[in-house]
Structure 1
Amino acid sequence: MISWFARNPVAANLLMLFVIFMGLLSLNNRIPLEIFPDVSLNSINIQVRLRGSTPQEVEQGITIRIEEAVQDLSGIERITSRSQEGVAEIFLEVDAATDERDLLADVKTRIDALNTLPEEAEKPVIHLRERRREVITVAVSSQYGERETREIADQIRDQLLSLSGITRVELDAAAKYEIAIEIPNDNLIQFDLNLDQVANSIRNSSLDLSGGNLKHVGGEIFLRSTGQAYTKRDFENIIIKQGDGGALIRLKDIASIQDGFEESRAIMRFNGQPAIFLQVYQVGDQNAIEIATQVKSFLEQRQASLPEGVFLDYWRDRSRVVHKRLQTLVNNALLGGVLVMALLSLFLRPGVAFWVFLGIPVSFMGAFILMPLFGVTFNVVSLFAFILVLGIVVDDAIVTGENIYTHLKKGEPGVEAAIAASTP
C-alpha cells in the first residue's frame, strides 16, 4: 500500500485532500462535544410511594412483593432494593445480552397484574435508569419567602427552556407543592364525621371525569367534567356532606387548609441566602460548551430585569473541564508542530520537515472521520486519549522523516527512499 501510493503521488494527494475535507466536515457538524461519554447503565428502576409508612412496612408491603413478582423474568442479572420511610426503590440490573426495553415492558406487565400492594400505595413509577449529563447549575437566591423564590425559579426554568439548544432544565432538591388539611377532632364530632368520610369526599370530588360524547350533524361533542382541585380555594369549596337543614358543609367549614410546600430535610443556601438550584442538562448531540455559554449570557442579561433582592448566578460549570482539555490538546499540537518543523529543518531538510509536519493534522482528520461511525464523541476521556496519541504521532513522524533522509543520503532515489524507510 505504501509503495503504491509512493509511486502514484496524484492519488496520494487526492486522498490527503479528501481526508482533510471530510475530517473538517465531521469536526464541525457530526461530532458532539460532551463532558463524559454516554454509557448505558443497563438498569431498570421501580419506585413506589406509601406515604406515612415506616421502612419495615414499606419492605413487607411493597418491596418484597415486587421482588417476588419479577425475580423469575429472563434477563435480570441482579435485584437490589432500598426501603425508606414512605418509599420503596427496586433496581433491576439487566443482562448485557437482553434488550432493556423488552424487559421493561415485561416488568410493567408483571407489576400491573400485582394486586397485593397496599391500597394506599401510589402508582408504581417504572423507567430505564439513565445517566443525566449535567452541564451547569443555576442558583436562584432571594431575600423573599419560599413561595416567591419558587415562582421566580419556575420562570427562569421556563425561560431557559425557550433558548435554542437547551431542552432539559430541572429543579434540584426543591420542595414540592403541598396542600395540608388539618381537621380538629371537635369539628369531626360536631358534624358527625370521621377522617375516612372526609378523605373519600375529597377523593371523589377532586377529579376530572369523562362524560362521553354527543353525535350530531356537525360532528362530535366530547363532554368532560373538570373538578380536579389544585389550589387552596378549590379545596375549600369541596362539599363534604349535606346538613340536616339542607345546608352544605364544605371543607373550609371544618378544616384549616394550608397551601405551601412539603416539609424538607434539606436547607438550600447560596452565598448565605435561601436558594433554589436549576440543573441544566445536555441531551443527545448538544454541545456542552455552547450550552454553558448560552446559560451564562442569559443570566447576565436576565439579572438586570429582576427585582431588587433576587440574584442569579451559576456554579459547577462542568464544561470548563472539556474546554481546558481542548486548550491542552490544541496547545500541545501547535507546540509539537513547531518543534517538528524546527528540529527537522535544522538537522535535515525543510522539505522533509514540512511533509512530516503535514502528516500530523492529516492523521487526526482521519480519526475525526471515523469517530461518528463508532459513536465516539469529544469528551474528557477521548480528549485525554488524543493528547496521549499526539506525542506518539509526533515521535513516529520524526523517526520516519529522519529514516527517509538517511536513505536519501545513501544515494537512493526519493521514491525508493520513502518506501524503504516506511516499511519494515
Structure 2
Amino acid sequence: MSTRHESGPIAWMTRHGVAPNILMLVLVVGGLLMTTQIRQEVFPDFSDDAVTVTVPLPGASPEEVEESVILAIEEELRSVEGVEEIRSTARESVGQVVVDILAGADRNRVFQDVQQAVSRVTTFPDDAEAAIVALNSRKRPVLDVLLYGDMDEWGLRQAAEELRDALLLDPNITEVELRGAREMEIHVEIPEARLREHGLTIGQVATVLRQSALDRGGGGVKTSAGEILLRVQERREAAFEFAGIPIITGRDGAVVRLADIATISEGFEDSNTAATFNGKRAIALDVFRVGEQTPISVSDAFHARAPAAMAALPPGLELAVQEDRSLIYKQRLNLLLKNGAIGLALVLLILALFLEFKLAMWVATGIATAFAGTLLLLPATGTTINMVSMFAFILALGIVVDDAIVTGENIYEYRQRGMGYVEAAARGARDIAVPVSFSILTNIVAFWPLMTIPGGFGKIWAVIPVVVVLAFVISWVEALFILPSHLAHVKDSHGRLHRMQQGFSAGFNRFVRGVYGPFLRAAIRWRYLTIACMIAILAAVVSLPASGRMGFILMPQVESEFSQATATLPVGAPMAAAEAVRDRLVTAAERVVAETGGDALARGV
C-alpha cells in the first residue's frame, strides 16, 4: 500500500494536534460560558405584527356596536397601506378591530397610520368612549396564581394588591398584574331633584369634577435664586377627597359643594365578571418574566417570597398556583439532557462493539463539541434557550452523530488495512469530506423552508432551522478538522476490553460474509424481483394515508391540564342568570371530581 503523505487543510490539521485542540477548547469552553449568558424563556420572544382598536360603547347591543363603530372604523382603514387583514368583533358594549400588518411592512408606521385613520372617524355615537389604539405586544408569563377566600370584594382586592406589592419587593420579580378584578371607581350619585333645585345638569357636574381632579403644570418663574416651577396638585383618589369640590359659587360667596347635592362612595366598575375558586371569591395574579430573567429564577423567587407575603395577609385567604410554566421549561431541559446522555451512551456502546472504544469515545466527544459550539454561536443569531430551540437540539442530536461516525469508521477502515494512524486519519477524512459536506448541505436545505413560514407561527418555528443549521456546520468542522487529529494520535490498546471488542467484530464480519453477502448477491442477481418487492412495499406505504385511514391535522391534540366548560347566555341576560348557570356547572364538576378521584384528580374548581 502507498504511504504517500496527504496534503491539504485536513491533512495539516491532522498532523498538527495543537490547532485542533485549541479549536475544540474554544468551542467547548466558549459554549459552556455562553450558557450563563443566553436568555432563557419558555417560548421564543417575537413581536405580534398587529394593531388593535378598541371602542367601548356602554349599554349597546352587538348589532348597534357593529353599525355605529365597527363599520365606520373599517371604512377608514381601507386606505391604510401595509395591512394584510382586518378582523372585527362586535360584543355587548364594546367593539374591537384587529389590523394584521403585512410581512415586511414598518410596524410603527402602520400603527401611526391606523391612529390617524381612527381619529378621522366623526360618526361615533355621543356616548362612545375614546378609541384605544394599541400596537400589540407579547408578555412572557411564568406563573398564574389564584388568591381566594371568604372575604368581600373590597377586602380581597386590597389583599391582592398587598400580595402583589410584597412579591415585587423581590429583585427577581419585576411584573405582577391582577386579573379578574373589577376596576375601582368613585361613584357619585345625584338625585334629579337636587339637580333641578340648583339648575344643574349631569354634564355640568361631570365637567367640574373632571377639571378639579387633575394635576396641572403652571409653568415656571425665573427669580434671582433660580427658576421656580409652579404646579397645581388637585388629583383626587378617594371618595372623601371629592366631597369638598365646589360645584356652584354664588355672587354672595355661598358655595354649593359636591357633598351637598350628591352621595359619594367608593366601589367597583359595573362589570358582568366574577371569579370563584372552590366556591370562594378569587382574584388571579399573573407573574411575568422581564428582560434577562429566566422562568426558573422567577418561579423560585415567587415560591420563596409567597409564604411570608401570605402570612401578612388577613386570615382565611389561600393561594393556589394554577400554572407554572417554568415546570414545562424544566421538563424540556431535562428531556434534552436525558436524550443527550442516552445518545452519547448508545454511540459509545455501538461503536465500541463494532470499532474501538477509543474511537467511540472521541466520536461521542465530537457530538458534545458540536452542541457546545452551537451554544457559542447561538446568541449571535438572537436565538434564546426555549422549548422550541431545545426541541431543535433534540432533533439535531440524531443527525449530527452521523458525520462523526462515518468519518471515524472510514479512518478505522484504513487502519485495518495496515496504514499508519496519521496517514489513515488524513486519508480517511479526506475521502469522506465530499460526501459529508453534501450530506450537511442536503440537511440544511431540508430544514431551511421553515424560515419562510409567514406570521406568528412562522416566527416560532424559525428557531428550529437556526439551531439545526448551526449544529450541522459545527458538526462538519468537528468531523473533518478535529476528530481526525484525535484519532491520529491515539495509542494502541491490547487489554481485555480490546480483545472482547475484536472478538465481537470478528463475529460480525463472519455474519456479513456468510449471511448478508450471499443475500445481497441474490438480490442483485434477481434484481427485477427485488425492484418489484420494493415497489409493492412503497405502494402499501403510500396507500395507507391515501385511503383515509391515517388522518392529517396541523397540530396534534394533547391532553390539557385543565377541563373547561362554557355556557353561552342570550345577549342582555342579567348577572344573576349567569351566576345561576355557573353554580350548576360548578356543582356538576364537583360531582364528577368526587366520583372519579377527588383530590387526586383535580386541585379545585
Say yes or no: TM over 0.5.
yes
If each structure's strand is expressed as a fraction of its own residues, which one has the higher value? 1
1:237 aligns with 2:237: no
Selected match of 1:26 from 13, 30, 34 = 34
Taking the TM superposition and a 5 Å limit, the aligned residue runs for 1:350-365 are: 350-365=357-372
Tell me if structure 1 keeps the 8 A contact 2:84–2:99. Answer: yes
Equivalent position of 2:56 in the other structure = 49
After TM superposition, give the deviation of residue 14 of structure 1 in Å.
1.0
Tell me if structure 1 keeps the 8 A contact 2:76–2:120. Answer: no
1:154 aligns with 2:196: no
Tell me if structure 2 keeps the 8 A contact 1:37–1:379. Answer: yes
Distance of 1:307 and 1:342 partners within structure 2: 61
Percent identity over the alignment is: 40
Taking the TM superposition and a 5 Å limit, the aligned residue runs for 1:348-387 are: 348-387=355-394
Equivalent position of 1:201 in the other structure = 208
Equivalent position of 2:306 in the other structure = 299
Distance of 1:169 and 1:32 partners within structure 2: 20
Distance of 2:16 and 2:109 partners within structure 1: 53
Distance of 1:133 and 1:249 partners within structure 2: 51
Higher mean C-alpha displacement, 232-241 vs 112-121: 112-121
Equivalent position of 1:388 in the other structure = 395
1:13 aligns with 2:21: yes
After TM superposition, give the deviation of residue 260 of structure 1 in Å.
0.9
Equivalent position of 2:576 in the other structure = none
Tell me if structure 2 keeps the 8 A contact 1:81–1:90. Answer: yes
Q: Letter of the 2:259 partner, please give it.
A: K
Selected match of 2:283 from 261, 276, 282 = 276
Selected match of 1:72 from 58, 79, 99 = 79
- What is the number of residues matched between the two proteins? 423
Distance of 1:198 and 1:17 partners within structure 2: 76
CA RMSD of aligned residues (A): 2.5
Higher mean C-alpha displacement, 290-299 vs 225-234: 225-234
Distance of 1:226 and 1:119 partners within structure 2: 30
| Residue 235 to residue 58, structure 1, CA distance change in 2 (3 Å) | farther
1:262 aligns with 2:269: yes
After TM superposition, give the deviation of residue 160 of structure 1 in Å.
2.4
Distance of 1:300 and 1:332 partners within structure 2: 36
Tell me if structure 2 keeps the 8 A contact 1:345–1:352. Answer: yes
Q: Letter of the 2:21 partner, please give it.
A: N
Distance of 2:123 and 2:233 partners within structure 1: 31
Tell me if structure 2 keeps the 8 A contact 1:299–1:313. Answer: no
Higher mean C-alpha displacement, 369-378 vs 67-76: 67-76
Equivalent position of 1:288 in the other structure = 295
Higher mean C-alpha displacement, 188-197 vs 360-369: 188-197
3-state SS of the aligned residue for 2:282? strand
Equivalent position of 1:166 in the other structure = 173
After TM superposition, give the deviation of residue 362 of structure 1 in Å.
0.1
Distance of 1:223 and 1:376 partners within structure 2: 49
| Residue 304 to residue 231, structure 1, CA distance change in 2 (3 Å) | closer
Tell me if structure 1 keeps the 8 A contact 2:166–2:309. Answer: no
Distance of 1:91 and 1:3 partners within structure 2: 61
After TM superposition, give the deviation of residue 366 of structure 1 in Å.
1.4
Tell me if structure 1 keeps the 8 A contact 2:159–2:313. Answer: no
After TM superposition, give the deviation of residue 39 of structure 1 in Å.
2.3
Selected match of 1:322 from 323, 329, 335 = 329
If each structure's helix is expressed as a fraction of its own residues, which one has the higher value? 2
Q: Letter of the 1:378 partner, please give it.
A: I
After TM superposition, give the deviation of residue 133 of structure 1 in Å.
1.7
Distance of 2:216 and 2:125 partners within structure 1: 25
Selected match of 1:180 from 163, 187, 190 = 187
After TM superposition, give the deviation of residue 110 of structure 1 in Å.
4.1
Q: Letter of the 1:369 partner, please give it.
A: L
Q: Letter of the 1:414 partner, please give it.
A: Y
Distance of 1:160 and 1:137 partners within structure 2: 14
Equivalent position of 1:311 in the other structure = 318
Equivalent position of 2:147 in the other structure = 140
List alignment gaps of at least 5 residues for structure 1.
none
3-state SS of the aligned residue for 1:28? coil
Equivalent position of 1:127 in the other structure = 134
3-state SS of the aligned residue for 1:90? strand
Q: Letter of the 1:21 partner, please give it.
A: V
Selected match of 2:413 from 397, 406, 409 = 406
| Residue 248 to residue 56, structure 1, CA distance change in 2 (3 Å) | farther
Structure of higher CA gyration radius: 2
3-state SS of the aligned residue for 1:285? coil
Distance of 1:52 and 1:329 partners within structure 2: 53
| Residue 220 to residue 65, structure 1, CA distance change in 2 (3 Å) | farther
Distance of 1:78 and 1:155 partners within structure 2: 43
Tell me if structure 2 keeps the 8 A contact 1:47–1:88. Answer: yes
Tell me if structure 2 keeps the 8 A contact 1:179–1:258. Answer: yes
Q: Letter of the 2:23 partner, please give it.
A: L
Equivalent position of 2:95 in the other structure = 88
1:130-165 CA-partner distances (Å, limit 9, x unpaired): 222211112222332212221121122223233223
| Residue 285 to residue 2, structure 1, CA distance change in 2 (3 Å) | farther
3-state SS of the aligned residue for 1:92? strand
Higher mean C-alpha displacement, 364-373 vs 43-52: 43-52
Q: Letter of the 1:16 partner, please give it.
A: M
Tell me if structure 1 keeps the 8 A contact 2:159–2:314. Answer: no
Tell me if structure 2 keeps the 8 A contact 1:296–1:314. Answer: no
List alignment gaps of at least 5 residues for structure 2.
1-8, 436-605
1:215 aligns with 2:215: no
Tell me if structure 1 keeps the 8 A contact 2:163–2:310. Answer: no
Distance of 1:20 and 1:417 partners within structure 2: 26
Higher mean C-alpha displacement, 188-197 vs 147-156: 188-197
Equivalent position of 2:461 in the other structure = none
| Residue 128 to residue 416, structure 1, CA distance change in 2 (3 Å) | farther
Higher mean C-alpha displacement, 356-365 vs 394-403: 394-403
Higher mean C-alpha displacement, 396-405 vs 375-384: 396-405
Distance of 1:132 and 1:46 partners within structure 2: 19
Tell me if structure 2 keeps the 8 A contact 1:139–1:313. Answer: yes
Distance of 2:201 and 2:281 partners within structure 1: 40
Distance of 2:397 and 2:84 partners within structure 1: 41
Q: Letter of the 1:290 partner, please give it.
A: S
TM-score by structure 1 length? Answer: 0.90
1:30-85 CA-partner distances (Å, limit 9, x unpaired): x2111111222211122233334444444444433333333212212222222333
Distance of 2:129 and 2:270 partners within structure 1: 19
Q: Which has the higher contact order (CA 8 A, sep 6+)?
A: 1
